[in-house]
Structure 1
Amino acid sequence: MTLDSSTLDAADIGSLPGVGVLIIGAGIIGCAIADRLALAGASVRICEAGGLASGTTAHGEGNVLVSDKGAGPELELSRLSRRLWPEVLARIARTMPEEAAAVEWDPKGGIVVATDAAGAAALADFAAGQRAVGLHCEDLDADQLAQAEPALTRDVTGSVHYPDDAQVQPVGAAAALIGSAAAAGAVIETRCVVTGSIVRDGRLIGVRTSRGPRYAEVVINAAGPWSGRVAQRLGAPIAVRTRRGDVLITAPMPPTVFHKVYDADYVGAVGSSEAELQSSAVIESTHGGPILLGSSRRECGFDNRLRPDSMAAIARRALRLYPVLADAAIMRAYGGFRPFFADHLPVIGPDPRLPGLWHATGHEGAGIGLSIGTAQVLTRALAGRAGELDIAPFTVDRPAVIASGRIESDAGHLPL
């Protein structure tokens, strides 16, 4: 199949008329892809095993970050996404202003801090590598840091400001994207479980679901942590791993935290493949007043229990940076699963083992921020058109993705 290779910006709406695409998963990645393809005129259907944005998307902080990625393909994807987010929201706002407002777009910027000499040296090296590829970040001295974050501890050995970091309300963002897709003709089916593949002459032409067969020219696996199970059922397993992350939410507070603030250990925790509990301080406010406290990482399959050791580690680290939070009331806590591959890069592109199957998964905790860029990269690849970002680093046929075909068990959780 050859798709129209024209650009897919707003001026080219309708440039992919009638191409049948089935997206598995209605999290932020699936919603962003649906929006992009539906605007281009594709015939889009989403099959979601649970509810809209009910999995990983509903259990994150809404980060749109460039600060936590070192020089390389993921940083370039994050920069593309960060540039596209305001453009996409402005386009949605023209016809769906309430939905766009519910995204709560907040380009607040981020500040990364170190609290010892080793951390300061590592942070300086990390920032220098980012600057070398053109990322804008600024060192802050003690006075500048105190002005930016008055309640932050003064026991800081180094800090870097990233003005391009931003935040969204993740479910609101997914709802706005899928609403835009629906307005352009996309069909959304929830409680629709994919159970197998429909293959003809070696090509995937559809999927079997709990609601009957669904046919399409292109099937996109965007099922997040459950994409490994989906891929296995379609006959093309991928080695998706999952880590659980937990978040604490305070009761509404007066203005206390003005940027996304996190300690320099966060980057190491994200980039690690260790299975045991790892934690770092990630602190930010929300439009409604509560403060989000993260973060943790632990491989535990699909065990959905909140664990006291994780919550205690998050609280200790948060208090280290913001002692004023000692009197804050914790209103609730939640956790979710983040999909990743061993090389810590997502998969975006076609599966060479099964023509007709594409994957868009493995973004771990960065899926909210990377979703818009992922949608553009995948759409332009489907069109056979070279985009501004090289898709090669994200291909399926790399060792971290195909090597073992490891599949996490999800028994007792979502009906995948």
Structure 2
Amino acid sequence: MPTRHPRSVPDVLDAVIIGAGVVGAACAYYAGRSGLSVAVVDRGPVAGGTTGAGEGNLLVSDKEAGPELALALLSTRLWRELAATLPPEIEYEPKGGLVVAADETALTALRAFAQGQRTAGTEVREIAADALGDLEPHLAPGLAGGFHYPQDAQVQPAAAAARLLRASGARVRLGEEVTALLTGPDGAIRGVRTTQGELHAPAVVNATGTWGGHLAALAGAPLPVLPRRGFVLVTEPLPRLVRHKVYAADYIADVASGSAALQSSAVVEGTPAGPVLIGATRERVGFDRTLSTEALRRLAAQAVALFPALAEVRAIRAYHGFRPYLPDHLPAIGPDPRVPGLHHACGHEGAGIGLAPATGLLVAGALNGERPALDLEPFRPDRFEKPAGPDRSDRSAGPDHSGPAGGDAR
């Protein structure tokens, strides 16, 4: 875990990053490497929110050609670089992904999806039905085929966040709630007020995950971030039953869906420690933490359909978290033109762990006034604003959150 620094800090920092999840940690890491002086503030512990409830997925396989895939491909390269420099306890494992199709209709759709990804630079190859067993010997028979994505990988998300923070050199202030953003007479950011005092900086980064809308509202810059709940099942430790990240084609549709109803499509993967992780469900129920037996039942049934041997395996626990959802399924990254000095790094939904390094690199570049490595236009924080007109009554004001800012970001 990063060292907690004394409350005394320089009078003026270069930036204050709010949120000590993996996205905030990546922002701090790349900002620190570029020579900026930053503080990271969080009302809870490191990885105390969505990051700590994540599986650690680093996926390109579920992203169609477009801005999010470009972000994922950049992050894939950065995660490989980080794995070579950060300690082994981040458990970086380039295991690859396998997406399978139950029938020819699904296989045809996957083929078209993969072709678009291939054109964008993704490594992917089609696997015939009779060759699936070479990659996954315990996979259910009768599948029509699949696609192998060697760039898919995994990390231990909480460990990764902690190690990124430690390597960043940032001043980490935990258990400290941000209560207000400080601005000057011109409306530009001048720092933050917390329960422990004030931090002065010309830039503030909103890396608060599911609380990104609340923090944006404090700044007067609405951002419609909503929590999207998801459950994960964990089995007893096993010999390596599942070699890759394995999921059925309908998982891709679930990721892209905007439905608030319960959706489930099992993603099954082994871990170095032995347990098999089974995700993922999606539903918008606010911050309701009630255990959903229906969600767990669906996950178990879908996992057994992919790997029949799991029918005899015990599930020893389940956990859940909340993904920071934005309506167009793209994160908000970069400077907010409505509030000079305010930057966003939130709204990654279930892809924040995978997209964290690219997000951190882009935010650090923006803080330094550099030309971005990717086009930031699709990720503009103000893209949900309606054009100016006589009727602004339904303009989004962000989610109705009852808690304070300073949370975690997946």
TM-score (norm 2): 0.91
User: C-alpha separation between the residues in 2 aligned to 1:233 and 1:411?
Assistant: 12
User: C-alpha separation between the residues in 2 aligned to 1:415 and 1:299?
Assistant: 19
Contact 1:269 1:278 in 2 (8 A): yes
Q: Give the drift of 1:414.
A: 8.7
Where does 1:165-180 land on structure 2 (aligned, <5 Å)?
A: 165-180=152-167
Counterpart of 1:129, as a letter, is: G
Residue 274 of structure 2, aligned match among 289, 297, 300: 289
Stretches (4+) displaced over 4 A:
400-403, 410-416
Contact 2:223 2:384 in 1 (8 A): no
Give SS of 2:90's match: coil
Give SS of 1:339's match: strand
Residue 220 of structure 2, aligned match among 235, 246, 250: 235
User: C-alpha separation between the residues in 2 aligned to 1:341 and 1:57?
Assistant: 17
Counterpart of 2:74, as a letter, is: L
1:95 maps to what in 2?
none
Q: Give the drift of 1:89.
A: 2.7
* Residue 61 (str. 1) matches residue 55 (str. 2): yes
Q: Give the drift of 1:378.
A: 1.4
Q: Give the drift of 1:144.
A: 2.1
Q: 1:224 to 1:412 in 2, by over 3 A?
A: closer
Q: Give the drift of 1:400.
A: 6.9
Residue 393 of structure 1, aligned match among 347, 367, 378: 378
Q: Give the drift of 1:281.
A: 1.3
Contact 1:281 1:314 in 2 (8 A): yes
Q: 1:381 to 1:415 in 2, by over 3 A?
A: closer
1:45 maps to what in 2?
39
Give SS of 2:318's match: strand
Contact 1:106 1:168 in 2 (8 A): yes
Where does 1:351-390 land on structure 2 (aligned, <5 Å)?
A: 351-390=336-375
2:94 maps to what in 1?
107
User: C-alpha separation between the residues in 2 aligned to 1:343 and 1:62?
Assistant: 23
Q: Give the drift of 1:132.
A: 2.2
Q: Give the drift of 1:236.
A: 1.9
Q: 1:77 to 1:274 in 2, by over 3 A?
A: same
2:67 maps to what in 1?
73
Contact 1:240 1:401 in 2 (8 A): no
1:15 maps to what in 2?
none
Give SS of 1:226's match: helix
Counterpart of 1:269, as a letter, is: D
Counterpart of 1:282, as a letter, is: V
* Residue 121 (str. 1) matches residue 121 (str. 2): no
Counterpart of 2:261, as a letter, is: E
Residue 148 of structure 2, aligned match among 153, 157, 161: 161
Give SS of 1:398's match: coil
Q: 1:348 to 1:159 in 2, by over 3 A?
A: same
2:139 maps to what in 1?
152
**Contiguous gaps of at least 5 residues in structure 2:** 1-11, 388-394
* Residue 303 (str. 1) matches residue 288 (str. 2): yes
TM-score (norm 1): 0.90
Counterpart of 2:17, as a letter, is: I
1:314 maps to what in 2?
299
Counterpart of 1:244, as a letter, is: R
User: C-alpha separation between the residues in 2 aligned to 1:275 and 1:400?
Assistant: 22
User: C-alpha separation between the residues in 2 aligned to 1:365 and 1:374?
Assistant: 14
Residue 338 of structure 1, aligned match among 314, 323, 332: 323
User: C-alpha separation between the residues in 1 aligned to 2:296 and 2:208?
Assistant: 27
CA deviation string 1:38-85 (max 9, x = no partner): 122211101101111010001111011111100001000000000111
User: C-alpha separation between the residues in 1 aligned to 2:142 and 2:357?
Assistant: 37
Counterpart of 1:25, as a letter, is: G
Give SS of 1:317's match: helix
CA deviation string 1:233-260 (max 9, x = no partner): 2322211122011100001011100000
Give SS of 2:231's match: strand
CA deviation string 1:268-303 (max 9, x = no partner): 101100000000010001110000001100001011
1:188 maps to what in 2?
172
User: C-alpha separation between the residues in 1 aligned to 2:52 and 2:281?
Assistant: 16
Identity level (%): 46
Counterpart of 2:359, as a letter, is: T
Q: Give the drift of 1:411.
A: 4.8
1:197 maps to what in 2?
181
User: C-alpha separation between the residues in 2 aligned to 1:294 and 1:412?
Assistant: 29
Counterpart of 1:194, as a letter, is: V
Contact 1:111 1:160 in 2 (8 A): yes
User: C-alpha separation between the residues in 1 aligned to 2:65 and 2:386?
Assistant: 21
Counterpart of 1:168, as a letter, is: V
User: C-alpha separation between the residues in 1 aligned to 2:246 and 2:402?
Assistant: 33
Question: How well do the aligned residues superpose, as a CA RMSD in angstroms?
Answer: 1.9
Give SS of 2:181's match: strand
Counterpart of 2:171, as a letter, is: V
* Residue 217 (str. 1) matches residue 211 (str. 2): no
Contact 2:46 2:174 in 1 (8 A): yes
User: C-alpha separation between the residues in 2 aligned to 1:332 and 1:413?
Assistant: 30
* Residue 247 (str. 1) matches residue 229 (str. 2): no
Counterpart of 2:73, as a letter, is: R
User: C-alpha separation between the residues in 2 aligned to 1:43 and 1:21?
Assistant: 7
* Residue 325 (str. 1) matches residue 317 (str. 2): no
Where does 1:1-40 land on structure 2 (aligned, <5 Å)?
A: 20-40=14-34
Counterpart of 2:338, as a letter, is: R
**Contiguous gaps of at least 5 residues in structure 1:** 1-17, 93-99
Contact 2:97 2:244 in 1 (8 A): yes
User: C-alpha separation between the residues in 1 aligned to 2:385 and 2:295?
Assistant: 28
1:405 maps to what in 2?
397
Give SS of 2:205's match: strand
Q: Give the drift of 1:232.
A: 1.3
User: C-alpha separation between the residues in 1 aligned to 2:176 and 2:328?
Assistant: 31
